[in-house]
Each structure stands twice: as C-alpha cells, then as structure tokens.
Chain A
C-alpha cells in the first residue's frame, strides 16, 4: 500500500488501453473499492485514501504540465 502505487496506477490507467477499458466498464458506478481492486489486479496496492490523495496530486501535475506545454510560449518564458 502506498501513495506511489496510486500515482503509478493513475499514470498507467491513462496510458494502457486494457487498463482504460477495465476502468471504463465501471462507468458512473465506480467506487473507491472497485478502483482499488483494479489496481490490485495490475500489481498496484493502495488504499482509497491514498488514491484520493494521488488523484489530487495527479490533477495538479497535469494542470501545471499543460500550462507550460509548448502551446503556451508565454508561460514558458516566465
């Protein structure tokens, strides 16, 4: 169980089609236990609290990344 596992799970979840398909099947009925179970099946053990914290970190990191992407030259200069 770790926050790091949860962060890896989020990263992998976006990148690997099989992962995405499995998560997509949860649809709007996803709950934390189901997401943790998918993580376990793919070798990532984490608690619901760790997943919630990891998602907030992941969200912020993505936001910062796309603010500074090459499409935003003004941001890069600053």
Chain B
C-alpha cells in the first residue's frame, strides 16, 4: 500500500501551471514510498521559475496513524538511522501517558526536487502544547536527534514566553544540510516582534521583518512566524505563514493577497488563478479514479447517511524573507477525508474529534467565572493586528465596527486586564481613521456614524486617541445631524463598496436619522438628542431599529441615553416594562437577553425588574458554551439603501446577517454581566 491512490484523486484539481508534468511525476514517485495515511499538504512555489512541489503527510494523535507509520517504517530497516528513530518516536507517541502526549499532530515533510534524485528522509514537524511545550519538545528531541545542543532553542522558548507568544510547532529538518530546527511561533503581535528578534539574536534586517509582518497581519486572519536554528544560533531567514479562516469561495482576501504578490513579482499570474481554483470537494461519483479502499471500509462501518468526501483546502500562503532581502512565496494546500451528514435537509460536516462529554456534576459557574471565560474567549480570538472580525456580509466581515464594540465591552468588564487587547485594538483603529475623521464597517467601507460612535465609546472608557483624532471624530459625528438625531451615513458617503449597492441607487434610507446610531453617538455630539429619541419610542415602550430585527439593542441604548433625567422617567418605565415582557420569551437570543438585562438594570429599585434580571443571568449561565462564548444571536439586517424605516416591515429587500463567530453576542453578554455585577445581586 502507498499514498499513490490519494494523489490520483487529488492532483487532477491542480492545474499544470501549479504542478507541471515533472513535478507531478516526482510527487507520484515520492508517494510510492510514503505510508498509506491519506492526509497530505502540497507545497507549491508561486514564482514563475520555481517548478518544485513538495509534499507533507499529516499524522494525528487519537487515530491509528502512529501505528500505521511504525509498521510502514519496518520496511525501511537498514536504510539508516532516521527511520528507526522515527519508528521509536511513533511507538512513544502512540503509547498512553507519555511525555509526548501533548503532541496532537505530526507532519512528515518530504522535499521532492524533481530532478531524478530519490525522495529522501522527511523533516519531522510536531505540534506543541501552549503550556509545557518545552518539556514536550525536549522529550521528542531526545528520541529523534542525538547530541542536540538546545541553548538557542531554549532562548527562543524563553523569549517567546516573555513576548506573549508561544512555539506551536517544532520541526527537525533531518533532511537538510546541518539538520536545522524550525520553530513556528503563534500569536506574535506586531509591537512585540522587534524585541523578540533582538532577544533571540536574530541577525536579519529587523526593519524589513517589521514591515513585512505588519503588512501580513493586516491582510490575513493569522500569521505564524517561522524561524530556523542551525549551528547553535538563530539563522537570519524568516518565514510568515499567512492564514485566512475561510476558503477563497467565500473570502476575497485570498485573491487580493495573491494579486498583491503578483504585483511584487512573487507570484506568477497563471499560478495565481490556479491556486484559487484548487479548493473544493471531490466525491466518489465524480472522482474519475478509484476511491481509497480504506475509505470504502470506513464508509461500510458508518451509518448510511454519512458520506465520505475528499476536501481540498488552501491552508496558507508562506512568505519567506531571505537574508539578502529577497522574498519567496509558496502556497500550501491540504487534502483530507471529511464526513458529511445530511440532517433535516442540510448538509454539515461531522467533527473529526468527538465532542468532550458534558459533565453535569460540575457546579454552575459564578458570574465572575462566566465573565472570565467569556473574556478569555474574546482575547483568544483577537487578530494579531489588534482587531476582531465578525458579521459576515456579502463576503466581507466587519473589523472596525465589530472591534470597537468588542474592545469596549472588554474594557468595561475587565478593566486593566483588558489593557493589552484594548491598546492593540485602539492602536490599529487609530491608524485606520479616515481623512474625514470617521471609521467604517470594515477598513474598506465608507466611514459611518455608528462605527465612529463605538470607537469614541472605546476612547471614552480607555483612551488611545490623541486630541486631534478624537475631535475630528466628534466633528464627523456632528456632521451626521438629521431631524434632531444622527444618520448612519451622510449625504456624500459612497455606499457602492457594499456589493449590491449600485451608483444610481437611491440611498435615502441609510441617510435618515437612526435611533440606535443616535443613542450610541449621543455622548459625543453638541446638541441634545433626547427629544428626538423620546419621540421615536413606540407605544409598547421599545425602540425599533433600522439595522436590527429585534428591539432589545436599540431600546437599551436609547433608554440608557435618556437615563438620569427625571424628564424622561416615563420613557424608562415603559422601556423596562417592555424588557420584562421580552425577557419571559423563551426564544429570545442571548444577545437580545443581554440588552434586556441592561434595560432592567436601569431601574434597580424595581423589585420585579430585578427578579427578571436575575432570571436572565441564570439563563445566560446555562447557555454559555464550553469555549466561553455564547451562541451567535445578534441578528442584524441590511435593507436596500432606498428603503425608509417606515417601509421595512412590508419589504422583502432586506438581507439578514449575524455575528457568525458569536463575538458580538459574547461581548454584549459580557458588558451586561459587568453591569449586573456592578449593582447586581447573585442571591
């Protein structure tokens, strides 16, 4: 058995521009000596004159992979020391309760020169746990490499830890001259890179590294830093693995990234198009080649409504900065079997690892513990450029508006513990302020009053803008005055950046006053918006928003804007009565429940309201996900811009969109819990 049948299924989806005939033949020759573990990554160089294509094989813990590889290596007895060491590593990794238990996956990286030379022994990469990574690394190295001098490696681990980053993978490149070690560092922030490189004695051009890293983190979701150690020191080469969370069909930043690389002559035009065409799914019926027999066997052992397919994904683009300042770009594709299941007319993927069983014996977490887990989930999902991304709208996610909202909630809930996250967010937002003084839905959108109001709310709580920036932002908001309230967009705003808005389309709907935007911006404008807000309240006590389906978010913001004034006490009473009624509805999302909680907290003297608030907190406690978030629940709407508020209920030209990552919901719940803790009662 070999890996050749997998390549027969996979390679037809790579255009000749990406994998030429000789590279294809070399890959097939390499596959014949690889273990029959059908998960691979294909590494394609993107420059026009670089034809070599390499291949990696992925092994996972909690599968039979270690045993399969060990058995496969038995056929290489007498082929040198590396197969025997690798076999011992597999035996130790596959055993329970060993020092290697922290390794979740291993990659065998085969260089395939395509010049007739036989494929040699692979480089060995293994993942490391965030905690205890050094001990795991030492245990693995002790098996795989004799006489390893670990001083430089130790220095990198220490500097990483001091800089708030960690070594996610370690590679022993036993197939390269000098047996260098590769470190992949996760979570590096731009402001920490220079000090880290100095700490580890990196001798390359730090200005160039800084500039490239900063550019990368602003163009993709995650950047992993790759460094090599050889001859006891860190080598002056630096790689950046640039990842986007979604595939090219639904993420246009892949295309933008490749266009930019082509402009810099790092990517051939034919290869650019070919890269974007690879991702997809191969099903047996369209494969044109025999399905893998091990997948047939697994299919027979699975329920009949589960379907095995081959997934082809674009994993990342790697940019390498060479010591002479030149750069190289490569694309890495993954191929693996995934299982689809049809349920209720929908197709979804089965998780590869079973969910952890829920332990019902664990006592309900305290509110502090809920908030701790929620804030950790938000910290974890902050991009390296300091921004969060959420709310997928026509292939674009919000970064500016969503980030200002999330950071504001974190600062409110965590105070100084959110300082690093808020500093990173505000520092990036400050750099992205438009010449007109505002911010937008994302960095490519026209600036708007709502996004700008949330940046100013973050600034009011945390600071971070200089006096000039904040006054320009406030002036920008004041320029949106309309009918005593605030419009989301002003007359001259260009809305055509949104995919379905055309230049000749009327846009009065987006340029009328909106109550939720007015309330969010109310602290920063130089007139009293309260008469406008009071007039907008509906008979049931709620406010209806142009941009949101449910009334909880606008009602909370409007009620908070009116709070503190006896003149509007009746408006608050009506809002609280409405929130009491809404809070009893079982279908209320966690997002809307959080805003109802905030409304009820405006009347702490109301006993019935406090009881309703306590019930909301209990409900949120029960519904927090194991990873600390709450399920997506912020359901926004995108009306066509000509639709006026009065037309919304009767129109079918409204597109729903929501916080698909649940970050906006989690931030909203976190901020509401902070207010509950501030004046609430757990009893």
Contact = CB atoms under 8 A, between A and B. Distances in A.
B646 interface: no
Given A29-B1, A29-B36, A59-B284, A23 B290 contact: no
Contacts of B624: none
Nearest to B301: A24
Given A28-B68, A66-B305, A67-B342, A52 B294 contact: no
A11 B268 CA distance: 49
Interface string B548-580: 000000000000000000000000000000000
A20 B284 contact: no
Contacts of A51: 296
A29 B285 contact: no
A29 B68 contact: yes
A31 B301 contact: no
B301 A71 contact: no
B37 A28 contact: yes
A11 to B, nearest CB: 10
Interface in B427-449: none
Interface residues of A, number: 34
A44 to B, nearest CB: 13
Contacts of B344: 71-72
A32 B293 contact: yes
A48 B291 CA distance: 11
A3 interface: no
B436 to A, nearest CB: 47
Nearest to A60: B285
Q: Of A20, A27, A75, which is in contact with the most chain B CB atoms at under 10 Å from its CB? A: A27
For chain A, what secondary structure do more than half of its interface residues adopt (helix, strand, loop), or is it mixed?
helix
Interface in A14-60: 14, 19-20, 23-24, 26-32, 34-35, 48-49, 51-52, 55-57, 59-60
Interface size bracket, B side? 20 to 34
Contacts of B293: 30-32, 34-35
A32 B1 CA distance: 10
Contacts of A30: 293-294, 296-298
Contacts of A19: 300
Given A20-B301, A23-B301, A62-B307, A29 B343 contact: no
A49 B290 contact: yes
B179 interface: no
A63 B64 CA distance: 28
B345 interface: yes
B650 interface: no
Contacts of A29: 1, 36, 68, 294
A56 B291 contact: yes
A14 B65 CA distance: 25
A52 B169 CA distance: 38
B284 A55 contact: yes
Contacts of A67: 342, 345
Interface in B261-312: 283-285, 287, 290-291, 293-294, 296-301, 304-305, 307-308
A41 to B, nearest CB: 15
For chain B, what secondary structure do more than half of its interface residues adopt (helix, strand, loop), or is it mixed?
mixed
Contacts of B284: 55-56, 59-60
Contacts of A60: 284-285
A35 B291 CA distance: 13
A50 to B, nearest CB: 11
B301 A56 contact: no
A20 B297 CA distance: 9
B343 A71 contact: yes
Contacts of A52: 290-291
A26 B307 contact: no
Contact of B1 (A27, A31, A35, A59): A31
A14 B302 CA distance: 8
B345 A55 contact: no
B296 A35 contact: yes
A75 B1 contact: no
Contacts of B37: 28
B72 to A, nearest CB: 10
A55 B296 contact: yes
B554 to A, nearest CB: 34
Contact of A71 (B63, B291, B300, B345): B345
Interface string B3-35: 000000000000000000000000000000000
Nearest to A52: B290
Contact of A48 (B290, B299, B301, B304): B290
A60 B291 CA distance: 13
B305 A62 contact: yes
Q: Of A35, A48, A52, which is in contact with the most chain B CB atoms at under 10 Å from its CB? A: A52
A56 B285 contact: yes
Nearest to B38: A28
Q: Of B65, B307, B342, which is in contact with the most chain A CB atoms at under 10 Å from its CB? A: B342
A34 B342 CA distance: 30
Contacts of A75: 345
Contacts of B343: 71
B1 A72 contact: no
A20 B300 contact: yes
Contacts of B63: 28
Given A28-B37, A29-B68, A67-B342, A59 B297 contact: no
Contacts of B296: 30, 35, 51, 55
Contact of B64 (A27, A55, A74): A27
B120 to A, nearest CB: 25
Contacts of B304: 14, 62, 66
Contacts of A26: 294, 297
B300 A10 contact: yes
A27 B68 CA distance: 10
Given A20-B301, A29-B36, A59 B290 contact: no
A23 B287 CA distance: 23
B342 A66 contact: yes
Contacts of B285: 56-57, 59-60, 63
B342 A35 contact: no
A13 B304 CA distance: 11
Nearest to B341: A66
Contacts of B36: 28-29
A64 B246 CA distance: 28
A32 B294 CA distance: 8
Chain A to chain B: the 4 pairs with minimum beta-carbon distance, closest first: A30-B297, A52-B290, A72-B345, A13-B300
8 contacts: A31-B1, A32-B293, A56-B285, A57-B285, A59-B284, A63-B283, A66-B305, A71-B345
Given A26-B297, A66-B342, 11 more contacts: A13-B300, A30-B296, A31-B293, A31-B294, A35-B293, A52-B291, A57-B285, A59-B308, A60-B285, A62-B307, A72-B345
